[in-house]
């Protein structure tokens, strides 16, 4: 019985390296989040979500592979059971052939002994007949002591001739039996060799299937362990980032409320501030005037002129290139322009509050 089904395990080293890198990136502890802006944390959260999405796709592929391997393992186990049953049957047949072979060998020994004895008796008869004088009927009649003695001598000669013929026939039959036993013995030996070879092949196939089954189980366990570790690390990373963003936003909102509750000084020396865009809301922050509410700016960029994030948004107001260009911004990206130009473009986008939906942070801080 030959096992023709070929099974390949396609879990590559690159897949495990990818999982390991994702798990390592997700396991990096958060730095001092109190000193980081919401915009920076949001960028990191976007990166973490992209990693989680990639990990989810990898986990889906591994789940499909695991399902496929489970089916193959079941097939191998059924083949293993069939081969084990066939192997037991072949061994029983081999034992029967060996018993028959032993009986035929014992019979061959007996027949050869009989043949040897028959040949010896026949040889003695031939030698006796050759050395003695040929019986003469006239002499037998003359030497006979009466008719009774004559009949006895004639009967003796007749029986001696019959015995000689019987010995010859027996010898021929014994030789034929011995030859037949030798032929059967040869056939049984050939049958024994074939059964032995078939049994050896089946034993080798069984050993190979056992090895294949063990390797599949090991690969299955490694894949599951890798995806579980990477998934747990990614989820923990995302949870940490979301908690950090929520804490920072709460701190910023509390600071804004406290600043709003403080009375304005009755007299204060005039201090130069950045020029606000005409028609923009009064949104003053620690860094000067802004074209949109400072709470949104703080949530988007922390008041910093940030380079493009994963979505391409940049500058103080986190404006994407397409929006920047459509509202009259110069250059390829917002962060490359001056603050005054960014203020002007943001004011046009804001449009008295009608464009608040263009900033995700507007909904987060409760400005619509």
3-18 residue pLDDT tens: 444 434 344 444 444 4
pLDDT of residue 187: 87
Cα separation, 348 vs 337, whole angstroms: 16
Whether 349 and 327 have beta carbons less than 8 Å apart is answered as yes
Class of CATH domain 283-364: mainly alpha
pLDDT > 90? residue 245: no
Between these two residues, 63 and 303, which has the higher pLDDT value? 303
- DSSP three-state, residue 133: coil
In DSSP notation, 7-53 reads ------HHHHHHHHHHHHHHHSPP--GGGS-HHHHHHHHHHHHHHHH
pLDDT > 70? residue 269: no
pLDDT of residue 140: 64
Whether 281 and 349 have beta carbons less than 8 Å apart is answered as no
Place of tokens 């040869």: 186
User: How far is CA 306 from each of CA 200, 232, 276, 285, 315, rounded to the nearest angstrom?
Assistant: 73, 31, 20, 17, 5
User: How far is CA 234 from each of CA 36, 223, 253, rounded to the nearest angstrom?
Assistant: 21, 17, 29
Cα separation, 310 vs 163, whole angstroms: 117
pLDDT of residue 280: 41
pLDDT of residue 363: 85
Mean pLDDT calculated for residue range 299-318:
92
pLDDT class for 200, splitting at 50, 70, 90? confident
85-139 residue pLDDT tens: 888 888 888 888 888 888 888 888 888 887 788 778 767 766 665 565 555 566 6
pLDDT of residue 339: 95
329-365 residue pLDDT tens: 999 999 999 999 999 999 999 999 899 999 988 888 8
pLDDT > 90? residue 293: yes
Cα separation, 107 vs 15, whole angstroms: 69
> For 143-147, 202-206, 208-212, 235-239, which range has the lowest pLDDT when averaged over its residues?
143-147
The half-sphere exposure of 193 on its side-chain side, counting CA atoms within 13 A, is: 5
Number of H helices, E strands in the chain: 8, 2
pLDDT class for 212, splitting at 50, 70, 90? confident
pTM for this model (two decimals): 0.39
Q: 1.10.3210, 3.40.50, 2.30.30, 1.10.287: which CATH number matches 16-27+36-242?
A: 1.10.287
Place of tokens 């979500």: 49
- DSSP three-state, residue 306: strand
pLDDT of residue 263: 57
Write the DSSP symbol of residue 356. G
Query: What is the separation, in whole angstroms, between the first and last Cα of the chain?
Result: 76
pLDDT of residue 335: 96
pLDDT of residue 28: 46
In DSSP notation, 228-295 reads HHHHHHHHHHHHHHHHHHHHHHHHHHHHHHHHHHSPPPSS------PPPPTT---EEETTEEESS-HH
Average pLDDT, the chain: 76
pLDDT > 70? residue 320: yes
pLDDT class for 22, splitting at 50, 70, 90? very low
pLDDT of residue 138: 64
Residue ranges covered by each domain of the chain: 16-27+36-242, 283-364
Q: What is the CA radius of gyration of the chain?
A: 53
Q: CA nearest 316: which of 348, 341, 280, 281?
A: 341
User: How far is CA 199 from each of CA 84, 247, 352, rounded to the nearest angstrom?
Assistant: 10, 72, 89
Give 3-state DSSP helix, strand, coil % of the chain, rounded to 5.
75, 5, 25
Angle made by CA atoms 308, 314, 318, in degrees to the nearest 5: 135
Cα separation, 207 vs 260, whole angstroms: 80
pLDDT of residue 329: 96
pLDDT of residue 261: 66
pLDDT of residue 321: 95
Mean pLDDT calculated for residue range 265-277:
40
Cα separation, 307 vs 333, whole angstroms: 9
pLDDT > 60? residue 277: no
pLDDT of residue 31: 41
Cα separation, 157 vs 149, whole angstroms: 12
Mean pLDDT calculated for residue range 58-85:
85
pLDDT of residue 35: 43
Between these two residues, 162 and 308, which has the higher pLDDT value? 308
Cα separation, 106 vs 19, whole angstroms: 70
Which burial class, exposed, middle or buried, applies to 102 when counting CB atoms under 10 A from its CB (0-12, 13-18, 19+)? exposed
Phi first, then psi, for residue 303 (nearest 5°) are 75, 20
Whether 317 and 289 have beta carbons less than 8 Å apart is answered as no
pLDDT class for 324, splitting at 50, 70, 90? very high
Cα separation, 140 vs 366, whole angstroms: 152
């Amino acid at each position: 019985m030959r096992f023709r089904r070929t099974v390949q395990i396609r879990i590559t080293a690159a897949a495990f390296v990818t999982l390991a890198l994702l798990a390592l990136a997700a396991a990096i502890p958060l730095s001092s989040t109190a000193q980081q802006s919401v915009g920076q944390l949001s960028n990191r959260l976007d990166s973490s979500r992209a990693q989680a999405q990639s990990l989810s796709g990898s986990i889906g592929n591994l789940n499909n592979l695991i399902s496929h391997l489970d089916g193959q393992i079941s097939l191998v186990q059924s083949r293993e059971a069939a081969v084990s049953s066939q192997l037991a049957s072949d061994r029983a047949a081999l034992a029967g052939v060996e018993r028959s072979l032993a009986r035929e060998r014992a019979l061959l020994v007996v027949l050869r002994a009989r043949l040897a004895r028959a040949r010896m008796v026949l040889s003695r008869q031939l030698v006796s007949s050759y050395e003695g004088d040929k019986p003469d009927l006239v002499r037998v009649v003359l030497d006979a002591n009466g008719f009774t003695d004559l009949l006895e001598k004639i009967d003796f000669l007749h029986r001696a001739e019959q015995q000689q013929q019987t010995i010859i026939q027996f010898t021929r039959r014994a030789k034929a039996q011995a030859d037949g036993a030798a032929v059967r013995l040869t056939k049984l030996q050939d049958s024994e060799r074939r059964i032995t070879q078939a049994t050896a092949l089946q034993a080798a196939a069984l050993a190979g299937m056992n090895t294949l089954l063990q390797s599949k189980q090991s690969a299955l366990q490694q894949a599951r362990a890798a995806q579980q570790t990477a998934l747990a690390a990614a989820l923990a990373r995302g949870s940490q980032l979301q908690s950090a963003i929520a804490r920072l936003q709460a701190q910023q909102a509390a600071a804004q409320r406290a600043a709003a509750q403080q009375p304005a000084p009755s007299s204060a020396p005039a201090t130069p501030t950045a020029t606000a865009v005409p028609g923009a809301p009064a949104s003053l922050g620690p860094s000067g005037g802004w074209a949109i509410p400072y709470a949104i700016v703080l949530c988007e960029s922390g008041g910093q002129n940030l380079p493009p994030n994963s979505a391409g948004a940049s500058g103080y107001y986190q404006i994407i290139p397409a929006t920047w260009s459509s509202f009259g911004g110069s250059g390829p990206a917002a962060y490359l322009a001056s603050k005054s130009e960014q203020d002007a473009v943001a004011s046009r986008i804001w449009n008295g509050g009608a464009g608040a939906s263009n900033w995700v942070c507007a909904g987060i801080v409760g400005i619509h």
